[in-house]
Each structure stands twice: as structure tokens, then as C-alpha cells.
Structure 1
Amino acid sequence: MKMKNAVNIDDLRRLARRRLPRVVFDYLDGGAEDELTLRANRRAFDDLTLRPRLLGGGRVDLSTEIFGQSYSAPFLIGPTGLSGIYWPEGDLHLAGAAAEAGIGFALSTGSNASMETIARRIDAPRWFQLYPWGGPEFSEALVERAAAAGYSALILTLDSLVGGKRERDLRHGFSHEIRMSAPVVLDGLMHPRWLASVWFGRHRPRFENLIPFLGDAASDRDLAEFTRSQRNPHFSWEDVRRIRGLWPGPLLIKGVMCAEDAIRARAEGADGIVVSNHGGRQLDGAPASLSVLPEIVAALDEGATVLLDGGIRRGSDIVKALALGAQGVLLGRAPLYGLAAGGREGVARALAILADEMQRTMILTGCDAPRHLGRDHLALRTDPPPT
């Protein structure tokens, strides 16, 4: 199947599964423990139905504004680490496709292209995501670099103070690096296109943002071990206040799943929050992001920016999230399936699919702009979703 023949995100997922070795696909696709929360994220969207309305949305404008910046649609490519393991220079392809589509892009601390490289090569608005790793010197160095490189907003991810128990990865012995074993080697040989382009290619993925902490001679294993050693379960709201004082632009707290934390984040100076359970990759048994969105929106003041991620596979999912009060969504796996399937072309295809589906959904629900979406466009499902 060629990229242009992929009609939905699940088609791109199948293409990605075909191209990637099992160890890499499972890292992309999997969640924590029994993957209850991973499945709940999708089920929450299925449990909401849309109310068709006639002749109200014929001229739909998907454009939106977040923190004073205009975007072509209310979705951004969210921060994801190790993107270079799916396709050479994966972060550059994600950022480039986002720029071409006129949407936002957020770079992860764990990216395989440095924040400076992205800034030099992609002339478009961009955000930086900071993990609460290490001590103050770690976060201060990265925040200063992000500001100097022109990143306009900072996402502070707080739901990963310890790693989730991702059992697919544990079975493969995968922990931010691929460890060679007979099954892994055999699987790699059965995926020669990936092997030639990623494993033996010119752009072997490594944590480029972390090299200044260890030096240019650091190996893949050194860098992976550094990410594991820098987990900081003692990170606190005091640290949030410290980072708020360092960062000159909008600050978002990611990983918020209850009204109490949303209110606290605002009190500590956050301009917005991301309702997120880390794509089901951290606390298994946590609720779906979508299911807690209404209570969080209701608890916050009107000046707070609320974004959501987790489980988005359709343009109609984005419409549902906005109807429940989010100003926008962050995309995780959807563009990564495209990246793994076909590089920048695959990412562009994923974004085009979601924009097309969202446009169609808006027309059929009689809504002409994201800002006009509300609860009256939704209804709870009363019949079981199709199997």
C-alpha cells in the first residue's frame, strides 16, 4: 500500500507494523502493564456520539489560535522521544511536515535531533517539552537552550517521575536502546528496509539534546543509561515554580488528570495544562484522558489553555475533544505511524487524513469553526459500540 492509498490512521499503523521490527513497533504501539488505560483512551471516544445537524457547517474554517499564534488546525504534533528509531532523522520529518501543514510542533527532551538543529532547519513556530530529570542544573541548561533557540512555549511533563512498566518492552529487553539478542537480530534481518536505513544508516538515533551533558564521545548505551539514571521522583511543585521563573514564555503542565492538579498548576504560574495519561504508557488503570476533560475544564478559569492527548485516531475524535472544552489536541501515535510507514510523506498523509476527517465531521454536525463546538454537538452513546 502506498501512502496515498492509506485512507485512515489504522492503514498507516498496518504499514508501520509491516516495516518495523517487532521490538520497535511494540515500543511505538504499546502501553503499560495490562494496557487497560491504552484501550480506555480509545473507548472513551467510542462512547461519545455526534449529533448530526443540517446546513450549518458548509464553510468550515479549522484555523485556531493558541498563545497568540495562528495555526491551520487545532491539532499539534506532540512531543515524542526516539522518533529516529522509526525513520532516519524522524524529528526533522515530523517538524517539517507540521510546518508544511501550518500546524504546531513540540520537540521532546528525548528527541534524536537537537533543539538547535530543528531551529536551524525548520522555520516555523515550535514548542519544547522538558522532562523533570536530574537536578536544577539539568532543567536550567535545557530551558536556557530552548529560549535561546526560539522555542515559544515550554511543556513540562510531570507524569513520568518513574517509568511505567511497559511489558512489551521488557520482554524485548528494550530500554531506550536496542539490545542485541538472537530473536532481535533475526527480526531485524526480516525487515531489511528498516535495518539498512535506521540501524546501518548515516543517522543512527541517539539523544542529541543530552550530548552536552556527557560529551560527543558518548555511546548510544551511555546516553540511554543517562536517561534512566536521571529520573527524579522527588521533583516537586517548588521545582515547577523554579522553572516558571526561568522560562519567559507560555508554560504548560502535561500529565494533568484531575481538577485539583489543574488548579494547582495554574496557581504555580502555568498558562495552560495538557490533560494526558501519557498515552497509557505510565499508570495503568488511570482513566481515559477524554473522560476527565470536562471536570478539569469546569474547574479552571477562562484564561487557562487546555489541551488533550491520548487515543486520537480520527478527525471526529478531535471534534469530540473540542466539544468537551479543549482548545486543541496533541497528536502522538497517529503521526508516528505515518513516520514509520513512509517518513515525511507518511506524516503529511496522517495530518491530511485527520484534517479531512475533521472538516467532514464539522460540516455534518453543522459547525463552521472549532471555537463554536460545544456539548450540544455531542450525545452519550446508548447502544454498545460495534465490535
Structure 2
Amino acid sequence: MAAHQACLNIDELRLQARRFLPRGLFEYIDRGTEDETALRRLRDGFDHAELTPRVLVDCADRHTGVTLFGRARPLPFVIAPTAAAGLVRYDGEVLLARAARAAGIPFCVSTQSITSIEAIAEAGAELWFQLYVWRDRSLTHALLDRVAACGVDTLILTVDTAVSPKREYNAHNGFTVPVTPSLRGALDVARHPAWAGGVLLRLLADGGWPGYAHYPPQFRTRITDAAAHDPIRLCDRVSWDDVAELRRRWQGRIILKGLLAPEDARRAAGSGVEAVVVSNHGGRNLDCAPSPLTVLPRIMDAVGDRMTVLADSGVRRGSDAAKLLAAGAAAVLLGRAPLFGLAAGGQAGAEHALAILRDELDRTMALLGCRTVADLRL
């Protein structure tokens, strides 16, 4: 039996991932920012939230399926965009896309993935695309054309990252973005030979340090000098005017990811976008941000009857997902959990992570007396 198959929950997959990955890369995925208050608040919020069961309910025919954007899906999950997947395993983005396809759920490709949207599309999964607005808007618009040509119809605009957050632990452990080769980093890699041989050496054999596949050719940098060119740096001038411009240019649906204020949700509902993701970026951005679970009811009151509301951040159990769904989310995005599975066992490990969460959600529903996901909200 492969090691990941013996894992009974996401935390056990996390421990497998910790053993496999260099410390710097693992902590980049696993930890938060500054004092990690937001990260702790996520876990505390889930731990203190209660769901009251109804008993003597026939749940034999229950199912975890939902209809999202007019399409029936077997699970209320989406694999969230994560920039590190291609470093966790060789071809990590492709492996996650295949895991998503096997589960019947969408996979959202990151602007900063090291595998191109064209290559990932060959996996046959339903792909969404996450967008960061670059300082040179014409380059952003050209990327949109490229994404649309791959048949993608759902765009997630990340709106909570005007600047890069402060991750002090990565400065201490030697892992920074851009990646800076160092003695500390080399020793870290040497202590993880399975990752070094299975991931790093294969990437180097492909032509050296990988780059960001969605950057324009003239600015396509390697991860060792990621943000060297001003036109493709994160833009701190993104505004509602950019949302309006995207709405004019993008023919598919648009989802704004990273909202926590009901006032922003109301404005989003009036901007022509189809959905929002209530998110604090997994506790990885603003360290004093509230937990999505605590603000979700207010956002549902503000816009729940006008647009689709999704949620993410900190989900480690199927019962965590159930709590977000009970608070009104139409679906839940999963970031770290699939990455832990990917690290632990490649595509099979990512599939195992999704299977764990599916089973836990199903059990939670049965114990609550819920036949459907919609029943969680009653």
C-alpha cells in the first residue's frame, strides 16, 4: 500500500507532504503571514461552529451533488488556483487537473502556474482560470485571449492581493519568491532526496529552472527572477474600473475572489459579474482579516438572492465544507488539501484527498439528517 493510501484525513496527508517537500516549499504552502493570526482564526472558526442534527430522517438516498452555473456536479468542490503545484510534483498542475476530472469537479489554473493552460487543457478537465491584473493592462488582455482560445469559460479575478504579503518564515527558511539559490536552500533540498530526484532534477533536465508559463514571451522569467519586469508585476491600482473592462472583454462568467465585506459584495452584484468567492486567501494575505465563515451569513443577506456565492480558506474536513455550505456557499474551493495529497502521492494522492473530503461530507450530511447539500441550509 502506498503511504498516502494509509492516510485517513487531510492532516495525515499534510504530514506526508511535510516529509516529502523541502521545508521552505512546504511552509510556503502550509503557513500564513506575519503572526499567522488569520490562519489560526480560520481553524478556530471551524472548530467553534456548530451544526445541529435532525434525527429520524431517512438518509439512505442522500447525495453530495450540486448544480453550479447550470451544470450538475457530483461534489460541491472546486480545486482552487495555487501557484506552487508545479513545484510540489513534476507536472503538478496536470496531475491536479486529472484528479479534478476523475472527481467530476473544476480545476482552476493559476496565472502563476509553471505549466501552460494549453498543456493543462490536454488533461481533459473542466478548467477555470485565475487572473492577476498586471500593470500593463494590454498584456493582461492578451492573456485573456489566450485563455479563451483554450475553451475556458470561467474567469476568477483575484482581488485581495494588491501587494505581496509579508511571509517572514520564508525569509528565515531560505525560500522566497523569486526563488534565490542559497546554501540553506541547497541543504534543505539535500534532506529531501525523493523530491530532489522526482521533481527538481526532472525540472532542471527540461531546460533549467522553470518559468511562469502564462507570462508574455518577452517577459517570461524563471522562478529565480520572477518579478523582474515592471509590466507584469502585481498591480496595486486595480479598481472597479478594471472589473468593468474585464466584463466588456470577457464573454464567459467572471468570479471575484477575495471579498469579505458585504459592501463589496453588493458592488460586485451590480458590476455584471456572476459570482464571488468569500475568502481570506487561506490566511495567507492580510493577517487581521476575518474568517470567511464568520462573514458569509452577512454576505448572503446582502447578495445571496442576486448572485452565486462561493467560499474557501482553511478547509481540512468535510465538516468544514459542510459549515460553509450551511452558511450559504454554493460550492467550496480547496487549496491546501489537494496540494497535500499531491505531495503525498501525486495524482493518486490528490484523488485520495478529494475522496477523504467527499466521504467526510457525506457522513456529516447523514449524521445531520440531510439528504442533499441544499438541506444543509435549512
Which residue is 1:209 aligned to?
A: 214
Which residue is 1:180 aligned to?
A: 181
Counterpart residue type for residue 348 of structure 2: E
C-alpha deviation, 1:314, in angstroms:
0.4
Tell whether 2:145 aligns with 1:144. Answer: yes
- Distance (Å, rounded) in 2 between the aligned partners of 1:67 and 1:101: 18
- Distance (Å, rounded) in 2 between the aligned partners of 1:183 and 1:122: 36
Partner deviation per Cα, 1:184-233 (whole Å, 9 max, x = no partner):
21121111011112221145543111153425xx4443444348961211
Which residue is 2:306 aligned to?
A: 303
Which residue is 2:117 aligned to?
A: 115
State the SS of the aligned residue for 1:98. helix
Aligned counterpart in structure 1 of residue 66 of structure 2, from 58, 64, 89: 64
Does the CA contact (< 8 Å) of 1:132 and 1:161 recur in 2? Answer: no
Does the CA contact (< 8 Å) of 1:58 and 1:366 recur in 2? Answer: no
Counterpart residue type for residue 165 of structure 2: G
Change (3 A) 1:194 1:177: farther
C-alpha deviation, 1:348, in angstroms:
0.5
Which residue is 2:160 aligned to?
A: 159
C-alpha deviation, 1:235, in angstroms:
1.1
C-alpha deviation, 1:54, in angstroms:
2.2
Counterpart residue type for residue 257 of structure 1: L
- Distance (Å, rounded) in 1 between the aligned partners of 2:251 and 2:294: 32
Tell whether 2:52 aligns with 1:47. Answer: no
Which residue is 2:255 aligned to?
A: 252
Which residue is 1:101 aligned to?
A: 103
- Distance (Å, rounded) in 2 between the aligned partners of 1:273 and 1:59: 31
Counterpart residue type for residue 15 of structure 1: Q
- Distance (Å, rounded) in 2 between the aligned partners of 1:3 and 1:55: 36
Tell whether 2:332 aligns with 1:329. Answer: yes
Change (3 A) 1:370 1:165: same
Which residue is 1:382 aligned to?
A: none
Aligned counterpart in structure 1 of residue 86 of structure 2, from 55, 67, 84: 84
Which residue is 2:133 aligned to?
A: 132
Counterpart residue type for residue 208 of structure 1: A
Does the CA contact (< 8 Å) of 1:82 and 1:207 recur in 2? Answer: no
C-alpha deviation, 1:341, in angstroms:
1.2
Which residue is 1:73 aligned to?
A: 75
Partner deviation per Cα, 1:21-46 (whole Å, 9 max, x = no partner):
11111111111100000111111111
C-alpha deviation, 1:52, in angstroms:
2.3
Which residue is 2:291 aligned to?
A: 288
Which residue is 1:198 aligned to?
A: 199
Does the CA contact (< 8 Å) of 2:178 and 2:226 recur in 1? Answer: no
- Distance (Å, rounded) in 1 between the aligned partners of 2:30 and 2:18: 9
Which residue is 2:369 aligned to?
A: 366
Which residue is 1:3 aligned to?
A: 4
State the SS of the aligned residue for 1:76. strand
Structure-1-length-normalised TM-score: 0.92
Identity within the alignment, % = 44
Change (3 A) 1:303 1:85: same
Counterpart residue type for residue 362 of structure 1: M
Does the CA contact (< 8 Å) of 1:156 and 1:251 recur in 2? Answer: yes
State the SS of the aligned residue for 2:310. strand
Which residue is 1:384 aligned to?
A: none
Change (3 A) 1:42 1:96: same
C-alpha deviation, 1:20, in angstroms:
0.9
C-alpha deviation, 1:303, in angstroms:
3.5
Change (3 A) 1:49 1:220: closer
Counterpart residue type for residue 97 of structure 1: A
Alignment of 1:267-286 (within 5 A): 267-286=270-289
C-alpha deviation, 1:131, in angstroms:
0.7
RMSD across aligned positions (CA): 1.7
Partner deviation per Cα, 1:147-183 (whole Å, 9 max, x = no partner):
1111121000010110111111222343324322222
C-alpha deviation, 1:351, in angstroms:
0.2
Change (3 A) 1:68 1:20: same
Tell whether 2:37 aligns with 1:36. Answer: yes
Which segment is superposed worse, 53-62 or 5-14? 53-62
C-alpha deviation, 1:111, in angstroms:
0.9
Counterpart residue type for residue 36 of structure 1: T
Which residue is 1:21 aligned to?
A: 22
